[in-house]
Structure 1
Amino acid sequence: MQVLLVGGTGTLGRQIARRAIDAGHQVRCMVRKPRKGAFLQEWGCELTCGDLLDPETIDYSLDGIDAVIDAATSRPDDSASVYTTDWDGKLNLLRACEKAGVTRYVFLSLLAAEKHLNVPLMDIKFCTERLLADSSFDYTILQGVAFMQGLIGQIAIPVLENQTVWVSETPTAVAYMNTQDVARFAVAALERPETIRRSFPVVGPKAWTSEEIVQFCEKSSSKTAKVIRVSPFLIGLSQRVVSFFEQSVNMAERLAFAEVTGGGIALDAPMDDTYSCFGLDSSETTPLESYISEYYDTILKRLREMEADLDEESRKKLPF
C-alpha cells in the first residue's frame, strides 16, 4: 500500500516506518523539518515537508495515498497548547483525508482516555476517537500506554549512575510496551479487515509499578537506587503555578499527565482478542524484564571494554 505516516520522526513513528518498509509498503513521511527525517529517507521512505497546522501541505502529502497511520503528538519542547498542536492538527488531517478520498486511517491513541478527560492529551485522544467513530472512515484505533524506551532515561540510567529516581507516592501499575511491538500492530492493521472500525488495547505482557521497575533495575545493575516519592498534590501545585505563564502552557498540560501515571488506577487490559484480530503471536512481544536486562548487559559490557582500553593505554605510558 501507499502509506502516509504522520509523526515518523518520533520514538514510535520511526519504528512504524521501519516496520512498514520491511513489510513491503511504500511509505511517505510528512515531517516539519526534513533534515531531522534524513534517516527515514535512508531507510527507503519518501519525505514530504508538511505541518498539520498548514492544510495545504497536508493536501500535497496525501496525493496518491491509500492509507494513513497517525502517530503524531506534540513534543515536550512545543510552546503551544496541545489543543492547538494536537486537536487542531487532527481536525485538519481528517478533513484533508475526506477531501482526498483516503478512508483507511490507523490512529495511535491512549488506553483509558475516557477516564481522564481533565488531562488535555487524554481529552484530545478521546475526542479524536469519538470523531472517528461518528465518521465514515475505515479506522483502526490502537489504545497504547507508556513505552519501555522511556524507562531508560527515567529509571535505568539514574539507577546505574546513582542519581535520584523520582516516583509517585501513589503507585500505578503500567503495562509498558516496546515501541517495536506497537509498530507491529500499527502495520498489521493495514491488511487486517477484521480490525476496521474497531478499537483495541495494545499493551505489554505485565503491568509494573515504578518501584517494581526500580527494584528490577537495582538487581540487574547491582546498584542501589536513591528513590524520592513525590506527592500527587505537589505535582498538581506545580501544574497550577506554571499554568499562570503563557510560555509554560505545554509544560503545565504535561504535568497534568501525572494524574494518569500516579493515580493508582492500573493501565492494563486483556490482549487475547487484539492478538487474534491482528494475526500476531503474543510470545514475540518483548517482556520488560528482557528489555531492561538487555540494556544493562549492553551498557555494562561497553563500560568494561572502556575500562580495559584505559588500563591498556595507561600501561603503555609506564617507564618500564
Structure 2
Amino acid sequence: MTGEQPVLVVGATGYLGGQVVDELLSRGKRVRALVRPASDAGKLEAKGVEVARGDMLDVSSLVAAMTGVDAVISTAAGYTRNDRNAEAIDTFGNANLAVAANLAGVPRFVLISILTCDQTPQVPHFWHKKLAEDKLEELGVPFVALRPGAFFDQIARMGGDPFEKGRIIWLGSKNIPLTFVLSSDLAGYLADAVEADIAAGERIDIGWNRPLSMLDAAGLASGHTDKNVRVMATPTGVLRAIGKITAKFAPLMVDMASMAAWFDTGRYVADTRRQAELFGPVPTPEDAISRLAERLGH
C-alpha cells in the first residue's frame, strides 16, 4: 500500500462509518465514501471526502468505487436499517463487496465483523458476517476482520442519556458478563488496521479487558451521576414470544431474541490479546464508561 491513494469507506453515512471517516482524516488519509444515489453526502463532501455513488447490490458500482484505492473499510450492516433490503445487504451485498474487491485488486479489505459470529448460525446477523469473512477468503481477497463485542454507547442510550435518565434498557439477562466496546475506539482500530502489521485472513476479537454484566456496567455508570442507574431488562423468553408474534412483519425481533439467548450463555467473550498487540492497551470498563459519561456531558 502506497498511502497515496484513498481509502474507501462503505457505510460512511452510518453511525460507525462516520466515525471511521473522521479517524482516517485525522491520520492524514484521503477518503472516498460509497454513498447510495439517493443519500445526502453533503456532510462528507464538506469534510473533503470524495463521494462515489453506488450500491452494495450493484457490483459494477462497487468495482468503480474500489478502483485505485489503498484499502476498503466496510462498516455496512443491513440489519441495523431494518428495512426491506436489510437481509439482501447482509447477504448478497456483502458477497458483492468481496467480488468487487477481487475484481478491483484491492490491496487490503478491512471488515467490521462480530464477536463469535462463527459460533452462531442461529443468530442471522452474526452468521451473515461469518459468511462475509468466508467469501472474502474464498476469493483470495487480502482481508482482515475485526470482531467487536456489543456497542455499549449505542446500547446505553437506547432509552436516552443513561446518566440523565438513570436507566439502561437491555435485552436478556442483566447478570451474565459479556464483551462490550465503544464505537469510537472501534473506529480508531478500523482506521489503524489499514496499515497495521496484520496477516491476510486474520480475525481479531475487539473488546474491553474483561467481560462485564449489564448490572455491573450500570453500577459503574452510577458513579458518574447523582442517580442510581437501573437496568430495565426484557427477559429472553419474552423476546422470543414477541418474535414469534411479529416474525412476518418484524423479523428483526427474532434475530434480537436469538442474540439475547446467545448472550445469556456467557460465551460472548473476547480474547483481546491480539487487540493489545496491534492497537495498544485494551480499555478497561471503568475507563470506557468514564469516557462515555464525559462525552455526554457528565
Coarse TM-score class (shorter-chain normalised)? 0.7 to 0.9
Q: Name which of structure 1's ranges 14-23 and 168-177 shifts more when overlaid on structure 2.
A: 168-177
Deviations 1:113-142 (A, max 9, x none): 122111110110111122223331111111
The amino acid across from 2:261 in the alignment is: E
The amino acid across from 2:290 in the alignment is: S
1:100-249 mapped onto 2 (5 Å cutoff): 100-154=104-158, 157-158=161-162, 160-162=164-166, 165-166=169-170, 168-169=172-173, 171-245=175-249, 248-249=250-251
Query: What is the distance in 2 between the residues matched to 1:143 and 1:41?
Result: 29
CA contact (8 A) 1:83 1:120 kept: no
Matched, 1:32 2:36: yes
Q: 1:83 aligns with which of 60, 82, 87?
A: 87
Q: 1:259 aligns with which of 255, 258, 261?
A: 261
Residue 271 of structure 1 deviates from its aligned partner by 2.1
1:37-56 mapped onto 2 (5 Å cutoff): 37-56=41-60
Q: Report the equivalent of 2:286.
A: 289
Equivalent pairs, count: 294
Query: What is the distance in 2 between the residues matched to 1:200 and 1:164?
Result: 28
Residue 255 of structure 1 deviates from its aligned partner by 4.0
Q: Report the equivalent of 1:310.
A: none
Q: Name which of structure 1's ranges 66-75 and 110-119 shifts more when overlaid on structure 2.
A: 66-75
Query: What is the distance in 1 between the residues matched to 2:16 and 2:252?
Result: 21
Distance change >3 Å, CA 45–CA 287, structure 1 → 2: farther
Query: What is the distance in 1 between the residues matched to 2:196 and 2:67?
Result: 23
Distance change >3 Å, CA 117–CA 97, structure 1 → 2: same
Residue 22 of structure 1 deviates from its aligned partner by 1.9
Query: What is the distance in 2 between the residues matched to 1:183 and 1:166?
Result: 23
Distance change >3 Å, CA 166–CA 184, structure 1 → 2: closer
Distance change >3 Å, CA 49–CA 18, structure 1 → 2: same
Q: Name which of structure 1's ranges 66-75 and 36-45 shifts more when overlaid on structure 2.
A: 36-45
More helix by share: 1
Query: What is the distance in 1 between the residues matched to 2:122 and 2:92?
Result: 18
Distance change >3 Å, CA 219–CA 188, structure 1 → 2: closer
TM-score by length of 1: 0.81
Distance change >3 Å, CA 94–CA 228, structure 1 → 2: closer
Unpaired stretches in structure 2, ≥5 consecutive residues: none
CA contact (8 A) 1:164 1:228 kept: yes
Residue 54 of structure 1 deviates from its aligned partner by 2.1
Unpaired stretches in structure 1, ≥5 consecutive residues: 302-320
Deviations 1:117-174 (A, max 9, x none): 1111011011112222333111111111112321431477246325674452363322
Distance change >3 Å, CA 152–CA 41, structure 1 → 2: farther
The amino acid across from 2:255 in the alignment is: E
CA contact (8 A) 2:151 2:183 kept: yes
Q: Which of 1 and 2 has greater Rg? A: 1
